[in-house]
Amino acid sequence: MPDQAISKNQPESSRQPLPGDNELSSYHYQQAVPSPQYRTSSAYRAEQVAKALGWFSIGLGIARLLAPRRMARIAGVAERPGLLRAVGVRDIASGVGIVSQYRPTGWLWSRVAGDALDLALLGAAARSSSNNRRRIAWTTAALAGVAVLDLLSSVDSSKRDRIVKGTDTLAVKVTKSIRVDRSPEECYRFWRDFESFPRFMSHLESVQVTGDRTTHWKAKGPVGMNVEWDAELNADQPGEYLAWRSVTGSEVDNSGVVRFEATPDGQGTMVHVEMHYSPPAGVAGAVLAKLFGEEPSQQVEDDLQRFKSLLEAGETAAAAGKPL
């Protein structure tokens, strides 16, 4: 990708400014215009599906709460009344939240989390029982069908929320730093090679350069989802910093800056990363991500550790076939 950085020898007034902490902290995603598709019959149908899932959750929860042994026999699992009653209370709470809220996105995602846990419990039951596997298989198939509906409804509700709100009120801020025993210029050159990011960012599947300053990203989202978005480089000073921001209307709203600062001993670089990130499912998506070990702060910390290992070992240069 052509280097669009402004030379250090140019007048200070003509150089790109570094987005500072105040700018990043006060950044608000651009207001989106509500799409007509969310004001038509499709929106009404989506809301009705969500309400139906809410009432289903309440009904299932009541059955589990009042007749746990019978429900266990129907599902083909071991009779554990206490566990089924607890699951029933969870289902009732999710259902009440869905049918009572105008925008029940969080409650819909709580059902997705509940479905994942239920499927895990059924899997454990199938492994430990040889007599009821057929019944467990039918129960698992039925639950998987409901789980798909829950997931689709949750994604649709999240999308409508983002279109209507258009703000960063659900954003997560991540700030991390690490020392790398390489020069700021070497660290910068590696970070500037965006297509190599999946080598050290485990949640990324691919990054494609689409223009002088634009890229297309594909990543793993919560609960096995895949998410894609386009980003643009809005500040680039070789050996010092890079800053980026997702384009308007992206599936994942995010922005950030990475700074490369020489250590006092002159033997390495402090790499400082600050990101603002809105989970694909809002607050509920962030909770689900933590539940399934995909919490953004931990991801960034792990990614930086891999970045450090690759760069210090020189593996990146060998793999890319070009010098750092």
- pTM of the predicted model as reported, rounded to 2 decimal places: 0.49
- Read off the pLDDT of residues 50-95 as tens digits, 9 standing for 90 and up: 889 999 999 999 999 899 888 888 887 777 888 888 888 999 998 9
Question: Is residue 70, in this structure, part of any structural domain at all?
Answer: yes
Q: How many domains does the chain have?
A: 2
Report the CATH number that the domain containing residue 252 is assigned in CATH: 3.30.530.20
Q: What pLDDT does residue 75 have?
A: 81
Could you please report the per-residue DSSP string of 11-40? -GGGSPPPP-HHHHHH--PPPPPPPGGGGS
The residue from 143, 165, 187 where one domain ends is 165
Same domain, 118 and 48: yes
**Alpha-carbon distance 232 to 209, whole Å?**
10
Same domain, 25 and 173: yes
The domain in which residue 74 lies consists of 36-165
Nearest of 285, 294, 55, 295 to residue 151 by alpha carbon: 285
Same domain, 277 and 151: no
- Whether the pLDDT of residue 279 is over 80: the answer is no
Question: Is residue 295, in this structure, part of any structural domain at all?
Answer: yes
Same domain, 56 and 23: no
The pLDDT confidence band at residue 222, using thresholds 50, 70 and 90, is low
Question: Is residue 158, in this structure, part of any structural domain at all?
Answer: yes
Same domain, 173 and 25: yes
- The residue with greater pLDDT, 225 or 76, is 76
Work out the number of other CB atoms within 10 angstroms of the CB of residue 92. 18
Question: Is residue 242, in this structure, part of any structural domain at all?
Answer: yes
Q: Which residues contact 16 (CB under 8 A, 6 or more apart)?
A: 5, 6, 235, 236, 237
Question: Is residue 94, in this structure, part of any structural domain at all?
Answer: yes
Question: Is residue 6, in this structure, part of any structural domain at all?
Answer: no
- Read off the pLDDT of residues 109-164 as tens digits, 9 standing for 90 and up: 889 988 898 888 888 877 776 667 788 888 888 888 888 888 888 877 776 666 55
Same domain, 81 and 198: no
Question: Is residue 9, in this structure, part of any structural domain at all?
Answer: no
Question: Is residue 3, in this structure, part of any structural domain at all?
Answer: no
